[in-house]
């Protein structure tokens, strides 16, 4: 397997998952443009969207982190997939998609607004309350169980790591939400997570 991995990006999650699963892989690293912070055009030679992560395996080219997570769960015979209990399965599916579908968009808007002089800061004040609703919801969920789907780490936790790391970095996630902070600290302490960081290169959110 080859992971096309962009520095300081969502693709760090794919490296972490591969380390947790113990699957062999290679990394092709890409650096962001220092002025625009966009991905380099070389990624478009791999896939028309030019986005990372991209996974190449057995003649397949797979994009979208959630789809890659599903693919790797299947490849590992269900490891890190949904727990057996029906309610846990529903939570797993919900958070697998919630990470990119609901909580990540306002965080991206906040990032973009932060780069706009003068008008960006007032506009960001309107986005923060939307983010706080998500962070309060996440805190309430993690107060009920150690991991997002249940009692063990799953692909849902891997998907949720990037938005919560971004929120801790730039969107006010702090000690007022102790269960979420404890979850992040627990993630960062995992040997597989640390191995993925060592292999992945620059990552601002760990």
- One pLDDT digit (tens) per residue for the chain, 206 residues: 999 999 989 999 999 999 999 999 999 999 988 888 789 999 999 999 999 999 999 999 999 999 999 999 999 999 999 998 999 999 999 999 999 999 999 999 988 887 777 677 787 888 999 999 999 999 999 999 999 999 999 999 999 999 999 999 989 999 999 999 999 999 999 999 999 999 998 888 86
Hey, what domains does the chain have and what are their CATH numbers?
2-80+192-200 (3.40.30.10), 86-190 (1.20.1050.10)
User: What are the residues whose beta carbons fall under 8 Å from the beta carbon of 184, sequence distance 6 or more?
Assistant: 161, 164, 165, 168
Q: What is the pLDDT of residues 108-131, one digit of tens each?
A: 998 888 777 767 778 788 899 999
Q: Is 139 exposed, middle or buried (0-12, 13-18, 19+ CB in 10 A)?
A: middle
- Candidates 65, 58, 64; CA nearest to 13 is 65
How much of the chain is helix, strand and coil, in % rounded to 5? 55, 10, 35
> Over the stretch 73-109, which tens digit does the pLDDT of each residue have?
999 999 999 998 999 999 999 999 999 999 999 999 9
Closest C-alpha among 44, 73, 79, 47 to residue 60: 47
Cis-peptide into 53, omega within 30 deg: yes
pTM comes to: 0.94
């Amino acid at each position: 397997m080859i992971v096309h991995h962009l520095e300081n990006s969502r693709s760090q999650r794919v490296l972490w998952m591969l380390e947790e699963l113990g699957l062999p892989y290679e990394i092709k690293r890409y650096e962001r443009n220092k002025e625009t912070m966009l991905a380099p055009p070389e990624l478009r030679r791999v896939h028309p969207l030019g986005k990372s992560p991209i996974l190449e395996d057995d003649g397949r080219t797979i994009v979208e982190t959630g789809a890659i997570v599903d693919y790797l769960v299947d490849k590992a015979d269900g490891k890190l997939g949904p727990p057996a209990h029906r309610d846990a399965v529903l939570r797993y599916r919900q958070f697998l998609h919630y990470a990119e579908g609901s909580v990540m968009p306002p965080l991206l808007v906040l990032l973009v607004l932060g780069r706009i002089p003068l008008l960006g800061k007032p506009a960001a004040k309107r986005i923060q309350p939307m983010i706080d609703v998500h962070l309060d919801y996440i805190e309430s969920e993690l107060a009920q169980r150690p991991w997002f789907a249940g009692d063990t780490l799953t692909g849902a936790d891997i998907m949720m790591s990037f938005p919560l790391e971004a929120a801790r970095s730039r969107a006010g996630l702090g000690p007022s939400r102790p269960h979420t902070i404890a979850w992040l600290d627990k993630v960062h302490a995992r040997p597989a997570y640390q191995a993925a960081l060592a292999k992945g290169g620059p990552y601002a959110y760990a």
